[in-house]
Amino acid sequence: MAINMDELKERVVASQEADAQFTHSIRVCMASGCLSSQSDLLKKELEAELKKRGLEKTCQIKGVGCFGPCANGPVIAVEPNGPMYQEVKVTDIPAIVEALDTKPVEKLVLPTDTPFFNRQVKIVLENSGKIDPESIEDYIAAGGFEGLVRALHEMTPQEVIDSLTKANLRGRGGGGYPTGLKWSTVAKAEGAHKYVICNGDEGDPGAFMDRSVMEADPFRVLEGMLIAGYAVGADYGYLYVRAEYPLAVKMLKAAIRQATKQGFLGKNICGTPFSFEVDIRLGAGAFVCGEETALIASIEGKRGQPRPRPPYPAESGLWGYPTLINNVETYANIAPIIRRGMEWFHDIGFHKNRGTKVFALSGKINNIGLIEVPMGITLREIIYDIGGGIPNGKAFKALQTGGPSGGCIPAEHLDTPISYESLSQLGSMMGSGGMIIMDETSCMVDVAKYFMEFCMDESCGKCVPCRVGTAHMYDLLSKICDGSATLDDLALLEQLCDVVKNTSLCGLGQSSPNPVLSTLRYFRDEYMAHIVEKRCPAGVCKMKHAVEA
């Protein structure tokens, strides 16, 4: 099927005309968050109510991806220009339908003229909450596949890579490696086959950005992989997704089916010599599989244990062939950059950090949910403007980013602009985008222990420093938490942090001391209170030998 730009534009018009037949469109969030408060029931009920009133020809109902304010779910939005409703119950449906042409149902309205909505800049999530993720027509109407068609018909593979290099896109999995450079290494590598892998093994606790992207806009991820395949010369792609994300898997499967049917996947895509196929591989619950060499082992049907690099996957990856691995959010950025041009992308962000970053905001904060912000925004703006501050009049204590590989950032550094470099300097990291806010009721030693337990459980056992070191660090942290540790134990803990950080084989081990190191750096007094005074300042830890007051 030879799809060129004109043909694509015609489809856009056709799809927009189909939508224009309706005077209203009600969008119901069908992403995992709202689904767990029965938004699917709401959609059924809405359909029934419209039918009852004979409005099914004038009002359209669309199941869409995440709107962002996940804690206020289930969320629905009435378009055009209508209100957004929060915490909608089945019993509210008649009132909502009744109010379509009149004033909105006041008690359910979620105000959208707040910083939570208007301080965000959406690239990756631009379609999230707008299009039906199961409809390729919706995606095309929103500019989908324009990037792919442009790349295939108007650009050479080298020009595609150059655009990414000039746009200064960096890996959104957390490391921040320049995407253009990675792609050009794979493009230059020699191999009878090449593979493109999308890392959707979002294992960090407290992170659900990639899941939302896969659920809300699966075609965007496919388009990114397709453009990557064209640029590096690969003909096969794997989407590696956590088995814990059944809805994302369902959406991706449906997207692959539709894209294949419409000629965007398969042989001679859009009438060009380029051919590309995509298959899904399910993870099976191993955090370490987020590490690229472990992920490759897992796709090969083996235990997900990392191997030393070099050789890097770009030279020798899946089954020994050159392999490009990027994270979901990185692929989601590709199509907009090609479609709108690298200058547009380069204008967002600051210094060496261009574009946006999606964060999952959770913990002790008023506005919990998914946000996308330009690089360079300060942590304070995220927490107090977009996040709406700390609930119940409690004081902010720390912000945790980067999951078990990251660290805790205290109040005095909240004015730091977000960038890969600035977060590393603070002893944390950008990570994949989990952002957990803690207030004065959280004990930082307990938090460090929590992450160490995670790393201990998730250590694959291949290298000694990580396998044994994380267990020892966990024991020492447990001793501190129950009040039986001495200052010697603390010194030993610090020494172990250093050893594990510098001698572990892969990123999991190397970064596992980070939560301890960062809490020691900013909250050493809490450690001392546990060890010397045998008390937990936040009142979280139960002391074995509590000192009688």
Give the footprint of another protein on this chain (CB under 8 A): 32-33, 35-37, 69-71, 73, 202-208, 211, 243-245, 281-287, 298-304, 360, 362-364, 368-369, 400, 403, 434, 436, 438, 442, 447, 450, 454, 458, 460
For residue 283, the minimal CB distance to another protein (Å) is: 8
For residue 403, the minimal CB distance to another protein (Å) is: 7
Calpha distance 307→298 (Å, rounded): 12
Closest CA to 232 of 197, 271, 268: 197
For residue 232, the minimal CB distance to another protein (Å) is: 22
Helix or strand run (H / E) with residue 457: helix 444-458
For residue 43, the minimal CB distance to another protein (Å) is: 17
Name the residue nearer to another protein (CB basis): 123 or 437.
Answer: 437
- The residues pairing with 279 across neighbouring beta strands, listed in sequence order, are 238
DSSP string, 161-173: HHHHHHHT-B-TT
For residue 64, the minimal CB distance to another protein (Å) is: 16
Strand duo 396-401 + 434-439: pairing: antiparallel
- The residues pairing with 197 across neighbouring beta strands, listed in sequence order, are 238, 325
For residue 70, the minimal CB distance to another protein (Å) is: 3
Name the residue nearer to another protein (CB basis): 259 or 538.
Answer: 538
The separation between CA 8 and the C-alpha centre of its own chain, rounded to angstroms, equals: 29
Name the residue nearer to another protein (CB basis): 436 or 517.
Answer: 436
Calpha distance 203→295 (Å, rounded): 12
Structure tokens at 70: 């996940």
For residue 246, the minimal CB distance to another protein (Å) is: 10
Name the residue nearer to another protein (CB basis): 206 or 229.
Answer: 206
Name the residue nearer to another protein (CB basis): 11 or 364.
Answer: 364
Name the residue nearer to another protein (CB basis): 173 or 203.
Answer: 203
The answer to whether residues 297 and 460 touch, using CB atoms and an 8 Å cutoff, is no
Calpha distance 120→362 (Å, rounded): 16
Structure tokens at 473: 């660090």
Beta-carbon contacts of residue 195 (< 8 Å; ≥ 6 apart) = 234, 236, 237, 238, 317, 318, 321, 322, 323, 324
Name the residue nearer to another protein (CB basis): 335 or 370.
Answer: 370
